[in-house]
Structure 1
Amino acid sequence: MPDLDLIGAEVLGPEGLHPGRLSLADGLVVEDAVGRPVDLRGYRVLPGIVDLHGDGFERHLAPRRGAMKQVAEGLIAAEAELSANGITTGVLAQFISWEGGLRGLEFGDKVLSAIRDTAPDLVTDLRAQLRFETHLLELYGDLPQRIADWGLTYVVFNDHLPHDRLAEGRRPPRLVGQALKAGRNPDAHFAQMLALHGRSGDVPAALDRLCGVLAGQGVTMGSHDDRHPETRDEWHRRGVHVAEFPETVDAAEAARARGDAVVLGAPNVVRGGSHNGNASALDLIAMGFCDALASDYHYPSPRRAALLLEGSGLLDLAGAWALVSSGPARVLGLADRGELSPGKRADLVILEARTGRVAATMSGGRFGYLSGAVADRFMG
């Protein structure tokens, strides 16, 4: 891209929107005017969205319940969707779980390797997050090396076993469908779940050791769906300092009290509450228990959530947009993005001022998405 001076638009800074020039050179925001002016009256220029947890890409890799053989093609399609929704840094959350199939080790290895190999050729900064089920003890020994080989810097721990039912020897709901999706006999699938539940007593000490190794590798670690303050305290002690989607106010408050980052789901904000009865993201934001909003399963939601928060009066635009830009950048340790200031990456989204729709997205000073009338401004 040539050096550009974006003029006439409202630009979002820490103090809010202001009319002014935004200059871009060599993929960075710069102080002085540098190149061809582009008149963006009628638009708003905001920092690019940093999405630190999304699994909406799965539909591109496994359409109609069948995995694509060319995973890279699915990632290219997913990148287009991310960019069209203003996301300039996208963290793709891939399971490795006892559930098997598209969440098993074999498919997970294929996806994580493809992200590593494909991302350097894309405009959007695509990264991977491993979502790892805690009871897969047989994988612990090799996991640190696998994580290094995949080039990962972010791991989140899950425990999705229905322990209450398994403790009673009862089959959980949807077991048959889950087993068939993984290509397993339902009886064998249930037996595996019971065996995993039976080793629960060995998991805490194994996690202590694993988290110590990963911390030494510089891996950012998070826990998923915390319900109790005691659980969050235990994760904090292990060096797991990100609380993803805490299910209760008490768990979110415990994370805040320990100085840990709280990540909430943007769809929860857009819906006005959790789809499964957990704590409302709106309530947690109002209490100050939120550092970042993530797309979770719906890439349009971060932008929509930030604009909704502004429109509701709960936060001003700068505060609301920080939850999808500078906030998640800090959680990921990415000091080079998240705000439009000199020296930062030229990661930005251009919104129609009247509608709030995405008109263009730039990552590292390169267009990932350019649509409609705004294209004429740049091409003229």
Structure 2
Amino acid sequence: MNTQLLTNAQIVTPSAHFTGSIEIDNGVIAAIHKDKFYRDGHDLKGAWLIPGCIDIHTDYLEKELHPRSSASFPMPFALHFLDARAASCGITTVFSAISFSDNESKGRNFEQAICMARQFDEVRGSLLLRHFLHARIDPNTHALLDHLSDMALLESLYMVIFNENIPGERQYSLNQQIEMRMKEHGTSWEVTRDKLLAQIQEAREINHRHLIYEAFKDKCVIGSHDDTTVAHILEAHASGSVLAEMPTTLAAARKAKELGMWVCMGAPNYYRGGSHCGNLACVDAMEEDLVDILCSDYHFPTMLGSVVRMIDEGMSPSKAVNMVTLNPARLLRFDEEIGSIAVGLKADLVAFQSERSFASVTSVWVEGVCKMAADYTEKARPLTGAINTIESHTL
């Protein structure tokens, strides 16, 4: 039997926070000991000990694959370093977003997305963490219909999100879209506007949400992205969505909660104090208790950073931690295996210190196996040859 004892930790369970110890047997939490310290255990030196974070939406994958428009890297390379980056931020379950759409302006198409997803399937089992795919599907294109059957065969696909790309809707207004495309293509206001209006008219006549739902209802969690109006939420709910991901207005977030949907906001939005593009601020939604889940969106460190900040601002440790662990586990129906510190669950755990208003992760375990460890107590020493002692030479 492979037994471990983690001791002297600030343990956070779904409903309590206390100093204590945890026993792990064969990758499973076997016992939790409140107010007990064991000399023969692995001393965590008072660090926070929480479940591994579950990130239901990150955009890192496409950034690792294509860090510049003219620079690309292979999937094994990109996913290896995404995996290490996530581990260093206390994330043990990662849902990487891939856009399934025909978006010429962003160089995206369905064939390319499916190729990426198949490569992801091949690589994900060789990594430190648990990895799944989060499909952002454009429901307003007929091209989708030729690829639904291929998408349904993807082993790692577990989340499907309606990601409407009609210009002028949701995240960016029509005028914002016109200005962005004028800069991108160097065209006039009138030409850009007329082209966008034609695209809008064509897209509004197409809606395949029902077909997407039928294709994935037995396999995936279904949600909707960037809902702006009550009508958007009503349409999403009627199309099988159980998640409102990053609603852009309070009205949309309120309606989602009223209908019993989960609401997810971006952790960078909370940590920075507002949306990077001027939409709904997470703190405003939290004031009305409208937010269930925080995801990394585009920045892994802000998940635990937000937990630290929420606790510093008076939220109970359990409520703060649940937003990045138990609540996403419940949404995903993973909560009988991961997402909380409880006897019988897998030992996906993270230890971190929080002295500097953000989290410094010191250890990460997946099913009791240590995947990452860092020691911040010993600082790196300066090199013996200081830079200002180097003699300058005139060429």
Cα distance in 2 for residues equivalent to 1:340 and 1:363:
13
Structure 1 gaps, min length 5: 181-187, 376-380
Quickly say closer, same or farther: Cα 1:331–1:374, change in 2 above 3 A.
Answer: farther
Give the RMSD, CA atoms, in angstroms. Answer: 3.0
Larger Rg, first or second structure (1 or 2): 2
Q: Kindly indicate whether the alpha-carbon contact (under 8 Å) linking 1:11 and 1:44 is maintained by their aligned counterparts in 2.
A: yes
User: 2:297 aligns to what SS in structure 1?
Assistant: coil
Asked if residue 351 in structure 1 is aligned to residue 352 in structure 2, the reply is yes
User: What one-letter code is carried by the residue in structure 2 that aligns with 1:91?
Assistant: F
Cα distance in 2 for residues equivalent to 1:171 and 1:246:
19
Structure ranking higher on relative contact order (CA contacts 8 Å, 6+ apart)? 1
Cα distance in 2 for residues equivalent to 1:113 and 1:286:
41
Mean Cα deviation higher: 103-112 or 344-353: 103-112
Cα distance in 2 for residues equivalent to 1:189 and 1:97:
21
What are the Cα deviations for residues 179-200 of structure 1, in whole angstroms up to 9, with x where unaligned?
69xxxxxxx9999866542333
Q: How does 1:219-368 map to 2 (within 5 A)?
A: 219-313=220-314, 315-335=315-335, 336-352=337-353, 354-355=355-356, 356-368=359-371
Q: Kindly indicate whether the alpha-carbon contact (under 8 Å) linking 1:42 and 1:354 is maintained by their aligned counterparts in 2.
A: no
Partner of 1:126: 131
User: What one-letter code is carried by the residue in structure 2 that aligns with 1:343?
Assistant: G
User: 2:68 aligns to what SS in structure 1?
Assistant: helix
User: 2:223 aligns to what SS in structure 1?
Assistant: strand
Cα distance in 2 for residues equivalent to 1:170 and 1:264:
22
Partner of 2:209: 207
Partner of 1:147: 152
Cα distance in 2 for residues equivalent to 1:107 and 1:179:
23
Partner of 1:175: 181
Partner of 1:12: 12
Cα distance in 2 for residues equivalent to 1:169 and 1:98:
22
Deviation, 1:31, is 2.2
TM-score by length of 2: 0.83
Deviation, 1:63, is 2.3
Q: Kindly indicate whether the alpha-carbon contact (under 8 Å) linking 1:161 and 1:193 is maintained by their aligned counterparts in 2.
A: no
Quickly say closer, same or farther: Cα 1:111–1:366, change in 2 above 3 A.
Answer: farther
Quickly say closer, same or farther: Cα 1:218–1:20, change in 2 above 3 A.
Answer: same
Q: How does 1:36-51 map to 2 (within 5 A)?
A: 37-51=41-55
What are the Cα deviations for residues 106-146 of structure 1, in whole angstroms up to 9, with x where unaligned?
33223211221111111210111011122222222431432
Cα distance in 1 for residues equivalent to 2:349 and 2:175:
52
Cα distance in 1 for residues equivalent to 2:12 and 2:289:
22
User: 1:114 aligns to what SS in structure 2?
Assistant: helix
Mean Cα deviation higher: 253-262 or 100-109: 100-109
Q: Kindly indicate whether the alpha-carbon contact (under 8 Å) linking 2:21 and 2:32 is maintained by their aligned counterparts in 1.
A: no
**Greater helix share, structure number:** 1
Asked if residue 63 in structure 1 is aligned to residue 67 in structure 2, the reply is yes
User: What one-letter code is carried by the residue in structure 2 that aligns with 1:172?
Assistant: I
Partner of 1:184: none
Deviation, 1:150, is 5.0
What are the Cα deviations for residues 195-237 of structure 1, in whole angstroms up to 9, with x where unaligned?
5423334323x3223323322x332111111011121011111
Quickly say closer, same or farther: Cα 1:254–1:44, change in 2 above 3 A.
Answer: same
User: What one-letter code is carried by the residue in structure 2 that aligns with 1:118?
Assistant: V
Deviation, 1:17, is 2.3
User: 2:41 aligns to what SS in structure 1?
Assistant: strand
Q: Kindly indicate whether the alpha-carbon contact (under 8 Å) linking 1:40 and 1:374 is maintained by their aligned counterparts in 2.
A: no
Cα distance in 1 for residues equivalent to 2:185 and 2:367:
43
Cα distance in 2 for residues equivalent to 1:112 and 1:298:
21
Cα distance in 2 for residues equivalent to 1:169 and 1:38:
58
Quickly say closer, same or farther: Cα 1:358–1:209, change in 2 above 3 A.
Answer: same
Cα distance in 2 for residues equivalent to 1:127 and 1:363:
15
Cα distance in 2 for residues equivalent to 1:170 and 1:241:
30
Cα distance in 2 for residues equivalent to 1:236 and 1:109:
27
Quickly say closer, same or farther: Cα 1:135–1:191, change in 2 above 3 A.
Answer: farther
User: What one-letter code is carried by the residue in structure 1 that aligns with 2:260?
Assistant: G
Cα distance in 2 for residues equivalent to 1:170 and 1:45:
44
User: 2:178 aligns to what SS in structure 1?
Assistant: coil
User: 1:256 aligns to what SS in structure 2?
Assistant: helix
Deviation, 1:353, is 5.2
Deviation, 1:174, is 2.9
Sequence identity (%): 25
Partner of 1:31: 31
Q: Kindly indicate whether the alpha-carbon contact (under 8 Å) linking 1:263 and 1:290 is maintained by their aligned counterparts in 2.
A: yes
Deviation, 1:321, is 0.9
